[in-house]
């Protein structure tokens, strides 16, 4: 029943997108949305600082005239996924928040402090004021972003997108350290996983060989919601496409079939792909912008996709795509 509703909703949104005019005037600070030009600028910034991402043109018959022909969407390939979401530990109390818009429920995990603020707001303000104020609003700065040698982040807890900063998503991590950590983590998981969940030993001959799924990730521009949108397609260790249900194993179960649905790709033909619905992206970004500004900082629009990648990872927490933490934030 849920898939039928998603199909009907997707068809209606396709019509609405067709009728929606292209956003011409920047409303980034007011509403958290992007113009196509701002999307391209943020994409250029992502590609420059994280070369694993590249621009793609897509199918000629699906070219969007409001985007450059060679910059229709962003793509990164062969991203590892070492384990299933059910292997993760869920910690803390969670409250289901129902949306009146009918886009599905969301899980809210953050708690208010005594002064009425959230830990999310405190962390963003601290980051902006103490570490990155100049880098956030000085595009020509050559200062290096601070490392996270004193930070130990636990990636095992799936959280809601509204509270993604609470897990330290905006903290900076050295990619080389992250890679080493993931390898060690993968070795541990390979001893614990079973063939049933795709993480067992190959051929049963050794418990140190990890069966690793991989994903290709795409970021498109949604003209109706005027925000980026994430798409994922998964493969097993033999590079055979995963089934829909297998891909849902790598999605937070609080969001599977609600926030994440199977829909047709706007730039590519073929079967439907899993997509993170963009209905909340602008609200989340607006909240982040306001928090940074209340702390005395300024968030440049060129950083949009860097931050976007961090809060959507709460929906697909086991897909290890985010190595954007340690780079020049200017």
**DSSP states along 114-173:** TTS-BHHHHHHHHHIIIIIHHHHH-TT--PPPP--TT----TT----GGGGGGGTTTS--
Q: Say if residue 222's pLDDT is above 70.
A: yes
Torsion angles phi and psi, residue 193, rounded to 5:
-75, 160
Structure tokens at 317: 């927490």
Contact yes or no for 273/217 (Cβ under 8 A): no
Q: Confidence band (pLDDT; 50, 70, 90) for 89?
A: low
Answer whether residue 69 is part of any domain.
Answer: yes
The mean pLDDT of 95-124, rounded to a whole number, is: 47
Q: Which of 81, 85, 125, 279 is catalytic?
A: 279
The mean pLDDT of 139-168, rounded to a whole number, is: 47
Chain mean pLDDT for the chain: 73
Contact yes or no for 73/58 (Cβ under 8 A): yes
Answer whether residue 75 is part of any domain.
Answer: yes
Contact yes or no for 185/177 (Cβ under 8 A): no
Is the alpha carbon torsion for 122, 43, 33, 99 positive or negative? negative
Q: Count how many Cα atoms sit within 13 Å of the Cα of residue 190 in the half-sphere of its side chain.
A: 18
Q: How far is the CA of 152 from the CAs of 111, 158, 177, 310, 313, in angstroms?
A: 21, 16, 11, 17, 18
Answer whether residue 25 is part of any domain.
Answer: no
Burial of 101 (0-12, 13-18, 19+ CB in 10 A): exposed
Q: Is 279 a catalytic residue?
A: yes
Q: Give the pLDDT score at 44.
A: 98
Answer whether residue 84 is part of any domain.
Answer: yes
CA distance 173 to 271: 36
Answer whether residue 321 is part of any domain.
Answer: no
Percent of the chain surpassing pLDDT 70: 56
Q: Give the pLDDT score at 205.
A: 42
Which residue in this structure is represented by tokens 């903290």? 171
Answer whether residue 90 is part of any domain.
Answer: yes
Domain range spanning residue 234? 2-20+33-312
In the chain, where does DSSP find H-type helix? 2-19, 28-31, 36-49, 119-127, 133-137, 175-192, 244-248, 281-294, 304-312
Answer whether residue 317 is part of any domain.
Answer: no
Percent of the chain surpassing pLDDT 90: 48
The residue that leads in pLDDT, 5 or 150, is 5
CB atoms within 10 A of CB 36: 19
Q: Find the range with the poorest average confidence among 7-11, 22-26, 168-172.
A: 168-172
Look at residue 202 and give its three-state secondary structure. Answer: helix
Answer whether residue 204 is part of any domain.
Answer: yes
The helix or strand, by DSSP H or E, that contains position 107, with its residue range, turns out to be strand 106-108
pLDDT digits (tens, 9 = 90+) for 39-52: 999 999 999 999 99
Structural domain count, the chain: 1
């Amino acid at each position: 029943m849920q898939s039928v509703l998603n199909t009907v909703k997707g068809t209606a949104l396709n019509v609405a997108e067709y009728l929606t005019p292209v956003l011409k005037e920047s409303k980034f600070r007011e509403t958290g949305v992007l113009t196509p030009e701002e999307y391209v600028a943020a994409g250029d910034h992502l590609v420059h600082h994280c070369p694993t991402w590249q621009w793609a043109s897509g199918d000629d018959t699906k070219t969007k005239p409001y985007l450059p022909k060679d910059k229709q969407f962003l793509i990164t390939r062969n991203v590892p996924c070492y384990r299933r979401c059910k292997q993760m530990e869920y910690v803390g109390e969670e409250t289901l928040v129902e949306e009146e818009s009918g886009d599905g429920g969301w899980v809210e995990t953050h708690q208010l402090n005594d002064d009425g603020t959230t830990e999310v707001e405190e962390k963003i303000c601290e980051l902006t004021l103490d570490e990155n104020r100049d880098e956030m609003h000085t595009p020509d700065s050559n200062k290096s972003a601070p490392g996270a040698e004193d930070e130990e982040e636990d990636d095992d807890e799936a959280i809601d997108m509204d509270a993604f900063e609470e897990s330290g998503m905006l903290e900076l991590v050295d990619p080389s350290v992250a890679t080493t950590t993931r390898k060690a983590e993968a070795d541990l998981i390979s001893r614990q996983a079973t063939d049933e969940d795709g993480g067992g030993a190959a051929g049963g001959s050794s418990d140190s060989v990890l069966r690793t799924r991989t994903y290709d990730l795409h970021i498109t521009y949604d003209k109706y919601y005027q925000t980026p949108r994430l798409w994922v397609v998964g493969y097993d260790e033999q590079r055979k496409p995963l089934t829909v249900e297998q891909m849902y194993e790598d999605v937070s179960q609080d969001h599977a079939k609600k926030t994440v649905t199977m829909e047709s790709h706007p730039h590519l033909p073929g079967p439907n792909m899993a997509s993170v619905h963009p209905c909340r992206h602008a609200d989340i970004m607006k909240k982040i912008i306001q928090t940074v500004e209340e702390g005395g900082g300024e968030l440049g629009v060129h950083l949009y996709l860097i931050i976007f990648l961090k809060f959507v990872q709460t929906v697909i927490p086991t897909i290890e795509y985010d190595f954007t933490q340690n780079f020049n934030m200017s």
